[in-house]
Chain A
Amino acid sequence: MIDTKHTILYDSEKCIGCKLCYKACFVDVIRWDETKKQPVFRYVEDCEHCFSCQAVCPKDCITVIPDYSSERLHQTFDCYR
């Protein structure tokens, strides 16, 4: 998917800097700030709403809110474009 409009909410207060969300992201949406020991959601437009970052977070810091309408289906019929 490209140019998606999913939202990723992140609570830095609860984050313990375990880096699991960064590792779990398989499409490089999340980078790691080594100074702050926190994730940086740098390429959100590439998010595939796989929920991996949210699922692996031990402190429930992350919430992915998919915008399914931003995902193209690439069919010819107008209703499925």
Chain B
Amino acid sequence: MKYEIKELQTDVLVVGGGVGGLTAAISVKECDPDLSVTIIEKQTTGYAGKANKGGGVLQYFDLSRMTPEEFAEYHVHAIGCFLGDQDLMIKYVSMNNHMFDKMVEWGGKLPKNEDGSYRVMPTGPMTAMITVDLDVTLQFRRTAEKLGVKIFDKVTMSDLLTDKGAVSGATAYSILDGTFYVISAKTVILATGSQNYRIGSMWGSGRGDGIAAAYRSGAQMRNAEFGNFAQLVKIRSHNEVVFGENFMHNRLNENVTQNFRKEREPDISSTAIREWYVQMCEGNGPIHLDYGSQAWGGGERGGHGGGNAKPSYGEKFRMLNMKAAMNIDTDLEVCPLFLGEQSPVKVGHDMQTSISGLFAIGDASYCGSTAPGAVPAPPGRNRGSGILNAVFSGIMCAEGAAKNAKTAAPRVDKSQVEVSLQRTYAPLERKDGCTAKDVIRIIQSAVGPMEQSVYMRADRIAKALDLVLQAKELAKTMKAVDFHDLLACHEAEAMVLSAEMQFRAAEMRKESRGWFLREDYPEMDNDNWLKWIIVKNENGQMTFSTEDVPYEKWAVKPQGK
């Protein structure tokens, strides 16, 4: 089959039109209005991504009550467990007021008090939240367009192009008519989200295609094993119950939260998932929530509350969802749902990957930046950190991205383009084969069960990895019937890749730390595992190595170190 080929040139290519990609595009334009900036988005910029589908919650740091250093110390002990970059966390917290002011400048609607201050809801001694209307990404899109950012919707990236170890652009295709794009760019910013394996509803857009493209082009990955987030959901509507882990009761109406949580903790923990699994195995299930008896003193109930006085854009979604589920959820029985949130593209403080000129932001590189430490992010046991980190990393990348785009025009390697063209359309060229969904079903059966992905053990990891390798073989035979299906095939390939690196890295990390929980290695091992696992594609082989965590240079050190 012949495909139409179009060539594009841009100084900066942003891949992904969610909140991170839009922030980066706007910030680069603010740095240097003369640079040409282009966004490609596989669906529709402003409607894509997760920021406009969740609770509209932003993490907020009240810098009049604490210093960034104090938060970083709290985070190390309560969440990051010595695996997080404390300097990056301090930068993130320090930028709080600037980020909120920027969001308002770009059109974000944040609730304010009569005196003009933001309406903030304290959620703990160190944490607070603020709501944002879910039209935030649409407002950002308008701002980006006013600044001259060009937007191509329904165009999905296929491969990254490189020249002498630096990025030189990307290939892409239209999911509507299959037009193939060869895009020459001096800087490429990946804002493609995390890997969520198409299991949870609002997480459906994160399918790891940007992560996979970065991996294929040789970019290093870090903390891939922390791609195993799960949340408690109501068993019928599958609606998430935020903070529900504080109210868990078993069939005998025993408070089982007390088995894993003695005092107030930030957000859901993998120990809550373990407790659910153990209770189920012992025949004490099902687990339900009972808000009548507090699991710990003074805790808050689920939900985020607050908001604007008049109904907001986001209220419509919430009302429709609530209405549809109203007669379905007859009780508060819950079970965990695997969400994933793998965000492993390795980046430095400027959000540049290990490939020169290639940047990765938001949920593509949250764990890869190491800022959240030993926890899948977002939310990284920090409710509201997803949107705020996307804004943070979008701003952080801008200066370096703009500076890099001042370099000479890159050379697009025609042979790379040809290889990408063949790879991209291969599933459409096959006469027969399996479907993308045949592959995805197997991957979901590997990552989905809590005992395989969250409460892990060597034999269960091996079982999951075996399924992933079956899916990997099957994926070589995928056949697509149209361009929508072609995208599903590429996403399935990305899911295979993410799952393989997740389980192989999980097998390697022989300890428990933070969210990472192994039944066979229940203790945190600071003697051997103050390390990050690095994953890399070397000539088609997935290789693993470790990098020592440089805790010596940070203020908060592990005991005895």
Contact = CB atoms under 8 A, between A and B. Distances in A.
Interface string B39-78: 0000110111100010000000000000000000000000
A79 B43 CA distance: 35
Contacts of B48: 26
Contacts of B285: 77
Contacts of B441: 2
Contacts of B335: 73, 75, 77, 80
A1 B317 contact: no
Interface in B249-286: 280, 285-286
B241 interface: no
Interface stretch (B195-203, B509-517, B548-556): B195-203
B286 A79 contact: yes
A10 interface: no
Contacts of A51: 316-317, 320-321, 324
Contacts, number: 103
A8 to B, nearest CB: 13
B430 to A, nearest CB: 20
Which range holds the interface residue count of chain A?
A: 20 to 34
Interface stretch (B20-28, B109-117, B291-299, B442-450): B442-450
Given A26-B48, A55-B320, A77 B202 contact: no
B237 interface: yes
A42 B483 CA distance: 12
Interface string A1-43: 1110000000000000000001111111001000000000011
Contact of A26 (B47, B324, B328, B450): B47
B43 A27 contact: yes
Given A26-B48, A28-B175, A75-B449, A55 B43 contact: no
Contacts of A56: 316
B128 interface: no
Interface in A39-77: 42-43, 48-52, 54-56, 64-66, 68, 71-77
B484 interface: yes
Given A26-B47, A66-B324, A68-B238, A2 B336 contact: no
A65 to B, nearest CB: 8
Contacts of B205: 26-27
Contacts of A68: 236-238, 325, 328
B28 to A, nearest CB: 24
B363 interface: no
B371 interface: no
B324 A49 contact: yes
Contacts of B199: 1, 72, 74
Interface of A: 1-3, 22-28, 31, 42-43, 48-52, 54-56, 64-66, 68, 71-77, 79-80
Given A24-B47, A74-B338, A80-B335, 5 more contacts: A27-B205, A28-B175, A50-B201, A72-B448, A74-B444
12 contacts: A1-B198, A2-B440, A26-B48, A26-B53, A43-B484, A48-B201, A50-B201, A50-B317, A64-B324, A71-B201, A75-B336, A80-B235
Interface of B: 43-44, 46-49, 53, 153, 175-176, 198-199, 201-202, 204-205, 233, 235-238, 280, 285-286, 316-317, 320-321, 324-325, 328, 335-338, 437, 440-441, 444-445, 447-451, 484, 487
Q: Which 5 residue pairs spanning A and B have beta carbons closest together?
A: A74-B448, A55-B316, A51-B320, A23-B44, A48-B204
